[in-house]
Amino acid sequence: MKNKYKLSLPLLFTCIIWLAPANLVKGMPVTIDNGTPDLIDAKPSDFDYTPSLFGLQKQSADDFLLTDETTINSIEWWGIYFSSNTASASDNFTIRIFPDTAGVPASTTSISPLIGTLTQTDTGDDFTVSSLFFNGTFDVYKYSLTLDTPPNLATGSYWLSIVNDTTNEIDDWFWSTSNASGNAHGRVNDGDSWTFGIGNEMAFNLQGSVTSNTTNPVPEPSILTLISLGLLAIRRRLFSS
Work out how close the CB of 187 gets to Ca ion at its nearest, in angstroms, rounded to a whole number.
16
Residue 176 Cβ, how far from Ca ion at the closest point, in Å? 13
Residue 169 lies near Ca ion (rule: CB under 5 A): yes
Closer CB to Ca ion, residue 27 or residue 103? 103
Considering the complex, state which of residue 41 and residue 169 has its C-beta at the smaller distance from Ca ion. Answer: 169
* Among 70, 164, 166, 200, interactor with Ca ion by CB under 5 A: 166
Residue 59 or 166 having the CB closest to Ca ion: 166
Q: Should residue 172 be labelled a site residue for Ca ion when binding is judged by CB under 5 A?
A: yes
Sign of CA dihedral 60, 66, 69, 70: negative
Q: How far is the CB of 30 from Ca ion (least distance, A)?
A: 17
Which x/- pattern over 173-212 shows residues binding Ca ion (rule: CB under 5 A)? ---------xx-----------------x-----------
Q: What share of the chain is helix, strand, coil (3-state, %, to 5)?
A: 15, 45, 40
Name beta bridge partners: 121: 142
**Could you tell me whether strands 104-105 and 69-82 are parallel, antiparallel, or unpaired per DSSP bridges?**
unpaired
CB-CB neighbours of 122 under 10 Å: 11
Helices marked H in the chain: 2-19, 221-240
Contact region with Ca ion (CB under 5 A), list: 6-14, 40-48, 78-86, 98-106: 40-48
**Residue 28 neighbours by CB under 8 Å, 6+ apart:** 209, 210
CA distances to 29, 101, 161 from 105, in Å: 26, 6, 9
Site for Ca ion (CB under 5 A): which residue of 117, 119, 126, 157?
A: 126
CA angle 118, 122, 126 (to 5 degrees): 135
Is 33 among the residues that bind Ca ion (CB under 5 A)?
Answer: no
38 binds Ca ion per the rule CB under 5 A = no
Contacts to Ca ion by CB under 5 A? 48, 62-63, 126, 139, 166, 169, 172, 182-183, 201
